[in-house]
Amino acid sequence: MSISRDHAAATDFDRWIATEFGKSGPFTAFAVLVEIAGHSVAPLCSTYFNVIGDEVDWGEITVLFAGAGRDWDAAAFFPRTDAGGGPLDNPNARTQLRELEERVDDDKLVLNEGHFFDKWGRRMKIEEVEQQ
């Protein structure tokens, strides 16, 4: 399937994934879905998938995430490649995803180390807020 992209209509996510694929070739993407409530960010669930081309767009990603069965507000993506280049094998991907989940649980600002997007595919950043 070939998709013609209207760059004016492309989301920040669409531009990011095309650039990332152009830079590294095929890769594994870890995705962490989060809920945002006021000044609080909570991880909901995570997954990984292999990116083997730049044809995927934000619309397809949101369909994929609909299968999570959770209402989410944003998603952070962390691209990873094998030491020899290309996507990670499943055992390494599972191990590295668990490590990422632990880091995010300990410090939500880890989400900024990835590529963080709201539910419309626009880039986001978490900022630290003083607790009152």
**DSSP code of residue 8:** T
Q: Which residue has the tokens 């490590």?
A: 99
What is d(CA 19, CA 51) in angstroms, rounded to the nearest whole number? 12
Is 104 inside any structural domain?
Answer: yes
- 29, with CB counted inside 10 A (0-12, 13-18, 19+), is buried
Does 54 map to a domain?
Answer: yes
Q: Is residue 23 part of a domain?
A: yes
20, part of any domain: yes
- Total-model pTM: 0.89
Percentage of the chain surpassing pLDDT 70?
A: 91
Range of the domain at 64: 12-118
CA separation for the pair 15, 33 (Å, rounded): 20
Inter-residue contact 107 to 76 (CB < 8 Å): no
Domain assignment of residue 126, yes or no: no
Instruction: Identify whether 132 is part of a domain.
Output: no
Instruction: Kindly state whether residue 62 falls inside one of the protein's structural domains.
Output: yes
Tens-digit pLDDT profile for residues 64-118: 999 888 999 999 999 999 999 999 999 999 999 999 999 999 999 999 999 999 9
Instruction: Please report, rounded to a whole number, the percentage of residues in the chain having pLDDT higher than 90.
Output: 79
Domain assignment present for residue 127? The answer is: no
- Give me the number of domains the chain comprises: 1
